[in-house]
Amino acid sequence: MAITIILAVVLVGLAIGGYFWFTRPTGLAAMPNPAVVAPGGFRATIGANNTITVGLEVRNTAEAALTLIEARIVAPAGLTSIQLAIIPTGDGNQGFALGGDLPATAPVQLGTTAADRNAIIAARFTIDCAGLLASGAATGEQIFVTVQVGDQQRVEELTPPAVGDLPWLTATAQRACLDPVSTASPEPQLPPLPDPTLTP
């Protein structure tokens, strides 16, 4: 009798374990949402002809690799996007000239280690200073990324970084309007992108 009860308990335990194993979330469903975050670091440079270029670090926080397929930045009134690229971190894209084209965009594989979990979303905008300053309170800035695991894709929204009380694009654009770069000035260089090996 006791053996029968023990056997029954074991079989029930195996059945329950098997149910949870085969019905467990997989792929994107098993990852946090969002799986990619903007930890707060970004670079910005003011260019000639009322342009700004920004580079935002993004990071995979999941415990599995994923692919960053594309990004979209919703800018405030007065800013018009003219270029956007997703680029991996590393020596190959440090210090590229802001006066030329941004590196070609392509999906970036994000791993789980400090060396391969980061990427940079780089974007260039033109500024209508009158429209920017007339828009009043800074609202509407959003960042979206599309991530993929296997054949599953998901759009995630990131929290834009801020400079004091201002969202990052508004703060950078206002600075450009108040301190514009002369068209005769040499083209600035983007500061080196973050070294992922130094990221905790």
**CATH number of the domain enclosing 66:** 2.60.40
In a domain, 54, yes or no: yes
- Taking alpha carbons only, the member of 5, 193, 13, 159 closest to residue 90 is 193
In a domain, 24, yes or no: no
What residues make up the domain containing 189? 29-193
In a domain, 13, yes or no: no
Tokens of 77: 């009134």
In a domain, 129, yes or no: yes
Give the least confident one: 50-64, 82-96, 113-127, 139-153.
82-96
Q: Which residue has the higher pLDDT, 2 or 33?
A: 33
The total domain count for the chain is: 1
In a domain, 6, yes or no: no
Rounded CA-CA distance 52/50 in Å is 7
Quote the pLDDT of residue 182.
Answer: 54
Give the pLDDT mean for 171-195: 63
Rounded CA-CA distance 88/17 in Å is 40
Give the least confident one: 11-15, 118-122, 179-183.
11-15
Quote the pLDDT of residue 71.
Answer: 96
Q: Does 45 score more than 50 pLDDT?
A: yes
In a domain, 39, yes or no: yes
Instruction: Answer whether 36's CB lies under 8 Å from 66's CB.
Output: yes
Give the pLDDT mean for 76-83: 92
Quote the pLDDT of residue 190.
Answer: 43
In a domain, 14, yes or no: no
Helix intervals (H) in the chain: 2-22, 129-134, 168-178
Quote the pLDDT of residue 13.
Answer: 59
Paired sense of beta strands 42-47 and 51-60, if any? antiparallel
In a domain, 16, yes or no: no
Rounded CA-CA distance 144/133 in Å is 25
